[in-house]
C-alpha cells in the first residue's frame, strides 16, 4: 500500500483527506473504499504474483492499483460502467506507469469473458446476489470477494475447488450498489 499514492487517486477537493482511513467521494455519486477496507479485501482475496485478476467497479482505480502490485507479473482487468471514471483511472495509470492494469468500460456484473477465467475476482460494489457469470469465470482453485445485500451488506468469500463452490461471510460492509444485468436495475 505504501507503493500506491492514494492522493493521486482522488479528486482535488478531497485530496487533503487521502491519508485518513475513510471512504472518499470520487464524483458521479460514487465513493472509493477506505484503505483499511481495500486491505481487508486484498487479504481475504489473497492475490499472488502471477495471478490474473478481475475487478468489477474501478472508480478512480486505487484498489486495482494495489492489486496490480500484489499480482506482480500477473494482470488486473478492471471493469467500470461509467466512462468518465474509467478514463480518469486510465490517465492515472499511464502517468504513474502502472502497466499491468487494463481498464474496460462495461457492465462487470456480466463478467469479462475476453480474459476469463480468473484466479481472483474482486467486486467493489454491492450485488443483490452473487452474479452467476462471475462464478463461471472463476478458475478452479480461484477466489472471489463480493459485498452482497441492499442497504447493509456482508462481504462474501466465494471459493471454487474441485468444481464445487463454497461461500462464507467475512463481516458487514457498506458499498455503493452494483448496477447492471446481474446487479440492481
Give the catalytic positions in this structure: 33
> Which residue in the set 81, 88, 90, 120 belongs to the binding site for ligand SAH (CB under 6 A)?
81
32 binds ligand SAH (CB under 6 A): yes
63 binds ligand SAH (CB under 6 A): yes
147 binds ligand SAH (CB under 6 A): no
> Which residue in the set 85, 101, 103, 145 belongs to the binding site for ligand SAH (CB under 6 A)?
85
* E strand map for the chain: 24-27, 30-32, 52-56, 75-80, 101-105, 118-123, 138-148, 153-161, 164-173
Residue reference for cell 480518469: 88
Q: How many CB atoms lie within 10 A of CB 7?
A: 12
Residue 106: all three cell numbers together: 462495461
Q: Could you tell me which of 67, 74, 64, 56 has the C-alpha nearest to residue 179? A: 56
CB of 57 to ligand SAH, least distance (A): 3
Helix (H) or strand (E) holding 180: none
> Which residue in the set 71, 76, 112, 125 belongs to the binding site for ligand SAH (CB under 6 A)?
125
Residues in contact with ligand SAH, counted by CB under 6 A, come to a total of: 25
Coil/strand/helix, residue 127? strand
176 binds ligand SAH (CB under 6 A): yes
In angstroms, rounded to a whole number, what is the distance separating the alpha carbons of residues 114 and 120? 15
Q: Could you tell me which of 183, 66, 75 has the C-alpha nearest to residue 125? A: 183
Q: Which stretch binds ligand SAH (CB under 6 A): 57-65, 69-77, 145-153, 154-162?
A: 57-65
Q: Which stretch binds ligand SAH (CB under 6 A): 13-21, 43-51, 78-86, 139-147?
A: 78-86
180 binds ligand SAH (CB under 6 A): yes
The footprint of ligand SAH (CB under 6 A) covers 30, 32-33, 38, 56-59, 62-63, 79-82, 85, 107-109, 124-125, 176, 178-180, 183
Amino acid at each position: 500500500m505504501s507503493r500506491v499514492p492514494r492522493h493521486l487517486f482522488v479528486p482535488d477537493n478531497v485530496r487533503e483527506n487521502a491519508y485518513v482511513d475513510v471512504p472518499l467521494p470520487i464524483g458521479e455519486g460514487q465513493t472509493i473504499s477506505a484503505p483499511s477496507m481495500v486491505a481487508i479485501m486484498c487479504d481475504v482475496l489473497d492475490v499472488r504474483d502471477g495471478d490474473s485478476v478481475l475487478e468489477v467497479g474501478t472508480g478512480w482505480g486505487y484498489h486495482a492499483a494495489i492489486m496490480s502490485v500484489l499480482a506482480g507479473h500477473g494482470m488486473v482487468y478492471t471493469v467500470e460502467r461509467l466512462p468518465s471514471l474509467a478514463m480518469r483511472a486510465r490517465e492515472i495509470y499511464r502517468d504513474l506507469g502502472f502497466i499491468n492494469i487494463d481498464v474496460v468500460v462495461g457492465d462487470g456484473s456480466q463478467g469479462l469473458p475476453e480474459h476469463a477465467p480468473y484466479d481472483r475476482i474482486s467486486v467493489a460494489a454491492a450485488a443483490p446476489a452473487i452474479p452467476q457469470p462471475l462464478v463461471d469465470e472463476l478458475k478452479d482453485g480461484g477466489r472471489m470477494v463480493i459485498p452482497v445485500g441492499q442497504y447493509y451488506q456482508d462481504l462474501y468469500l466465494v471459493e471454487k475447488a474441485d468444481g464445487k463452490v463454497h461461500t462464507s461471510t467475512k463481516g458487514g460492509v457498506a458499498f455503493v450498489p452494483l448496477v447492471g444485468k446481474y446487479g440492481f436495475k
